[in-house]
């Protein structure tokens, strides 16, 4: 409950107390998993990674819990990669990482964060003229639009690609009909593409 209310210090304290009271490894692993998620929400990636690895020790391989922990470890790894690409001033790899983070956020139903990551990636790819990666970003945005039901997304994307909101919506519809955008292809996009 405290975690949901974003009372992180109190939630962490409760989880740490709970782990001391638990005796079986699976219960301890579940608490470590919760601590990892809590640290991830606080963007404390090293701490999140620590708790996720501890959680893996208590779960049996090939179980749902085990898979969930690896999923969250992937999120931590993307965040570590992003820090590196920012530090080394590699904006195209940074944008690629934003795509992956957007996909993870979309899977976790964190739609606002997913939208921000996808839009940021599109802006970077567009700025650097990387048309292939721009197409990947647009494909992800189109799928996100369909999954999230975000009716304001076409209007947000339109000025970034020089389309009207209606043209962007039509582009998204075509992508979702499995007519993927390809670099240099105008066949599947509105006439202005």
Residue 191: per-residue pLDDT = 45
In tens, the pLDDT along 102-112 reads 888 887 788 99
Interval 42-50 mean pLDDT: 81
Give the Cα separation of 3 and 122 in Å (integer): 32
Give the model's confidence band at 66: pLDDT under 50 very low, under 70 low, under 90 confident, else very high.
low
Whether the per-residue pLDDT at 11 is higher than 60: the answer is yes
Please name which of 111, 117, 85 lies closest in space to residue 99, comparing C-alpha atoms: 117
Whether the per-residue pLDDT at 1 is higher than 50: the answer is no
Whether the per-residue pLDDT at 14 is higher than 50: the answer is yes
Contact 73, 81 (CB under 8 A): no
Whether the per-residue pLDDT at 184 is higher than 60: the answer is no
Residue 75: per-residue pLDDT = 66
In tens, the pLDDT along 97-134 reads 889 888 888 877 889 999 999 999 999 999 999 999 99
**Burial class of residue 87, CB neighbours in 10 A (0-12, 13-18, 19+):** exposed
Residue pointed to by tokens 């076409």: 154
- Nearby residues of 189 by Cβ (< 8 Å), 6 or more positions away: 171, 174, 181
């Amino acid at each position: 409950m405290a975690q949901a209310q974003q009372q992180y210090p109190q939630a962490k304290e409760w989880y740490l107390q709970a782990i001391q009271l638990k005796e079986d490894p699976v219960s301890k692993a579940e608490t470590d998993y919760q601590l990892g998620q809590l640290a991830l929400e606080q963007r404390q990636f090293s701490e999140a990674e620590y708790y996720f690895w501890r959680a893996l020790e208590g779960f049996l391989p090939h179980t749902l819990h085990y898979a969930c922990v690896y999923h969250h470890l992937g999120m931590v790894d993307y965040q570590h990669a992003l820090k590196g690409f920012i530090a080394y001033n590699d904006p195209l790899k940074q944008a690629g990482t934003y795509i992956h983070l957007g996909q993870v956020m979309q899977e976790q139903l964190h739609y606002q964060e997913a939208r921000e990551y996808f839009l940021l990636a599109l802006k970077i790819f567009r700025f650097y003229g990387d048309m292939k990666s721009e197409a990947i970003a647009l494909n992800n945005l189109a799928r996100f639009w369909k999954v999230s039901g975000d009716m304001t997304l076409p209007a947000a994307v339109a000025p970034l690609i020089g389309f009207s909101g209606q043209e962007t919506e039509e582009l998204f519809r075509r992508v979702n009909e499995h007519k993927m955008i390809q670099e240099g292809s105008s066949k599947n996009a509105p006439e202005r593409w």
